[in-house]
Chain A
Amino acid sequence: EAQVTQNPRYLITVTGKKLTVTCSQNMNHEYMSWYRQDPGLGLRQIYYSMNVEVTDKGDVPEGYKVSRKEKRNFPLILESPSPNQTSLYFCASTPTSSGTLNGYTFGSGTRLTVV
């Protein structure tokens, strides 16, 4: 089944403790992206990657890192999480140059709470 898989689904952590949210897709998509969803703000893009070893900042990149060493994986790293990063996170993918025509495939989301 074609899908984007995120882990974990739920995570509660403490301020300053490094964490990684994994994202993997099995569709051979070039483009991958991370969004965060907050009430009243919709989805905002954190980082995106147009292919292996190519990443770039989205609208709200502060406090996050990403890497794209393999085509299928696009982990989101919070080096020192803070409470304002409590949010619902989504990974998404699409074939390059197709997102504007066909949209994205989304993962099921990771609900992160930083206390």
Chain B
Amino acid sequence: GDSVTQMEGPVTLSEEAFLTINCTYTATGYPSLFWYVQYPGEGLQLLLKATKADDKGSNKGFEATYRKETTSFHLEKGSVQVSDSAVYFCALPSNCSGDKLTFGTGTRLAVRP
């Protein structure tokens, strides 16, 4: 079945460091891909998405490129801030069930001042 694999956390960085959170997927066809962010004590918010191969999603300084050759959708940011501290989830639709999203296990990011 469809699945998402994320890098284990936590990831701890100093402010202004470069961030990469790896995400690879297994899927039939070329589904849309999503990154969600969960700030402490809150629900998940859609951070960015890409709907087809080679698309780049971007938002709030974060970027991710849909790479079908490597079945990856890695999240990057050039200069992280303390306010980026959160848990990040990669997700893709399941081809088994209509609108179902399958999520990775999440990667916790902690940014030090």
Q: Does B42 contact A (CB under 8 A)?
A: yes
Closest to A31 in B: B99
In the complex, the answer to whether B42 meets A103 with C-beta atoms within 8 Å is no
Q: Does B49 contact A (CB under 8 A)?
A: yes
In the complex, the answer to whether B91 meets A103 with C-beta atoms within 8 Å is yes
In the complex, the answer to whether B43 meets A99 with C-beta atoms within 8 Å is no
B6-50 contacts to A, CB under 8 A, are: 31-32, 34, 36, 42-46, 49
- Interface residues in A, total, Cβ within 8 A: 29
In the complex, the answer to whether A33 meets B100 with C-beta atoms within 8 Å is yes
Q: A41-B105, A42-B103 are in contact. Are A97 and B98 (CB under 8 A)?
A: yes
In the complex, the answer to whether A31 meets B98 with C-beta atoms within 8 Å is yes
A residues within 8 A CB of B97? 48, 56, 58
B21 nearest CB across to chain A (Å): 14
A58-92 contacts to B, CB under 8 A, are: 58, 90, 92
**Please, how many angstroms separate the alpha-carbon atoms of A50 and B106 in the complex?**
26
Q: Does B101 contact A (CB under 8 A)?
A: yes
11 contacts between A and B (CB under 8 A): A31-B98, A33-B99, A43-B103, A48-B100, A56-B97, A96-B98, A97-B99, A99-B99, A103-B32, A103-B34, A103-B91
**Please, how many angstroms separate the alpha-carbon atoms of A107 and B101 in the complex?**
15
B residues within 8 A CB of A42? 89, 103-106
Q: Does A55 contact B (CB under 8 A)?
A: no
A residues within 8 A CB of B42? 108-109
B residues within 8 A CB of A50? 98-99
A residues within 8 A CB of B36? 103, 106
